[in-house]
């Protein structure tokens, strides 16, 4: 029993000591909206839905977001994951184990942009030029 108590305490500390994993988790919610709404959203090459759209993505994953709507120019947006120094500094100061846990499960990273907005530009439509029919010229008559 004397050995079990310290072992249980160590297990509890290890299991509950990862700061970013506990406070923020290993995923981020990203909201994608467009002007005009109704654009198709692809995240990292996979069709995801239409705007407005909310996606849950791994915190450590870089995102390539492709927006597409008929009659408008496509738009590509990059949202790279960045290292969360605030969580990890305190994890390192408090314990080394939380730092290792946060690094291994991806909670040490996250997306700065959680709201992504795209403004789609209309595709220039070709202007129809009316076709003119040639007017026949009258032959010149000699003057007398």
Residue extents of the structural domains in the chain: 4-119
Distance CA 43, CA 129 (A): 40
- pLDDT, position 69: 93
User: What is the pLDDT at residue 99?
Assistant: 62
pLDDT the model gives residue 1: 55
The whole-number pLDDT of residue 75 equals 93
Task: State residue 98's pLDDT score.
Answer: 64
Low-confidence ranges of the chain (pLDDT < 70): 1-24, 84-105, 108-109, 135, 137, 140, 142-144
Q: Please identify which residue in the block is written with the tokens 């654009």.
A: 39
35-39, long-range: CB < 8 A, 24+ apart? 35/117, 35/118, 35/119, 35/120, 36/69, 36/72, 36/120, 38/69, 39/67, 39/68, 39/69, 39/72, 39/118, 39/120
**pLDDT at residue 61, as a whole number:** 87
Q: Answer whether 53's CB lies under 8 Å from 41's CB.
A: yes
- Specify the pLDDT at position 54: 92
**According to the model, what pLDDT value does residue 66 have?**
95
């Amino acid at each position: 029993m004397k050995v079990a108590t310290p072992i249980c305490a160590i297990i509890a500390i290890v299991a509950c000591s990862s700061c970013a994993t506990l406070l923020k988790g290993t995923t981020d919610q990203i909201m994608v909206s467009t002007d005009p709404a109704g654009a198709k959203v692809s995240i990292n090459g996979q069709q995801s839905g239409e705007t407005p759209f909310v996606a849950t993505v791994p915190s450590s994953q870089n995102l390539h977001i492709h927006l597409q709507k008929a009659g408008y120019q496509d738009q590509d947006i990059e949202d790279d994951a960045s290292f969360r120094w605030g969580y990890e500094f305190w994890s390192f100061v408090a314990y080394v184990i939380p730092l290792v846990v946060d690094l291994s499960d991806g909670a040490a990273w996250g997306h700065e942009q959680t709201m992504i907005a795209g403004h789609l530009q209309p595709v220039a439509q070709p202007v129809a030029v009316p076709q003119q029919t040639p007017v026949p010229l009258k032959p010149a008559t000699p003057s007398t």
